[in-house]
Copies of this chain bind each other. A is one copy, B any other.
Amino acid sequence: MTLTSSPPAPAVERGRVRLKGVGKVFGSGSQAVTVLQDTDLDVRPGEFVAIVGGSGCGKSTLLTMVAGLEKPTSGTIETGGKVALMFQEATLLPWLTATQNVELALRLQGVDKAERRDRARHLLQRVRLGRYVDLRPHELSGGMRQRVALARVLAQDAAVVCMDEPLGALDALTRDQMHDLIEDVWLEARFTALFVTHNVREAVRLADRAILMGGRPGRIIHAEENTMARPRVMDSAPVAAAAAGLTQRLKDEVASHDESDYFDI
C-alpha cells in the first residue's frame, strides 16, 4: 500500500499494449485456479494482432485485463490511450434500441446529439443493419446482435480495440463483409487491434501477427508475423496455406503436451 512499492509507470505511447510477466489466478487458497501464467506481449501501436487458442485457455481473461476490467494477479499491463472491448457475448442494453446502444458509446465520449445519431446510423448501415436500427435487442437475431456490438466498439474511437470472437455468430458471406469493414476502419483510424478468433483463416485474413495460446495454464505458445499484402482474400490459396501452417503448429503444440492436460478430461 505504500507508494514507493509501485515504481512510476513508464509512459507507453498511444496504441501500445505491453504485458510483462502477466499472471491471473481466480479464487484463493485451495480454490485457486491459475488461468494465465507469465505472459509477455508487446503490441505496437496500430498493429493488428489475432489471438487463437483452445476453448478456455484464457483469451477472454487476457482481453478483460487489457481493457482494465480485471487486475492481473502478477506482472504489469501497460496500455497507451483508451481501450475499447467487444465482449464475447453481445451485451447490449435491453432498454435501448440498436441505434441507442451505439449512440451510448458516442454519448459517453461527449459526441453531441445530432452527430451521435448520424454516426450511429452510419455504423449500423456499415454492419448491414440499416433496416433494423430501431429494433431492440430482443427483436434481433444472434448474429444481428453481434453486429450491433461490433458497431458499438468501432464507435468508441479507441486507441486499442479488443474484440472477443466478434464474428463467431455470422454466416460466411456476412463475415467476409465484416472483415472488409473492420479492415477499412482499422486502416482509417489506425487503432491497435486485439482480435480473438477460433477461425485461423480469419486470423490470417486480418492480422499483422497471430498469437497462439495454449491452455492449463493459459500462456502464449507461438507468435507469427504475417506480412502478406492487403487486402487478403479469405478463400485464397496463400491464406489457406498460412492458416494450415498455424493450425498444424497448434496441433503440434498440443501433441507435445499431454493431451489430457490440454483438453479438459
Contacts and interface: CB of A to CB of B under 8 A. Distances in A.
A56 B198 contact: no
A200 B147 CA distance: 20
A225 interface: no
A254 to B, nearest CB: 7
Interface string A180-213: 0000000000000000001110000000000000
Nearest to A139: B26
A163 to B, nearest CB: 13
Interface string A137-148: 001111110010
Copies of this chain per assembly: 2
Contacts of A200: 172
A172 B247 contact: yes
Interface residues of A, number: 44
Nearest to A199: B172
A56 B130 contact: no
Contacts of A142: 55, 60, 88-89, 164-165
B174 A263 contact: yes
B173 A128 contact: no
Contact of A144 (B55, B129, B170, B254): B55
B254 A55 contact: no
B131 A264 contact: yes
Contacts of A131: 264-265
Contact of A264 (B59, B128, B165, B168): B128
Interface in A103-139: 125, 128-132, 139
Nearest to A218: B141
- Give the one of A26, A54, A144, A247 with max B CB within 10 A: A54
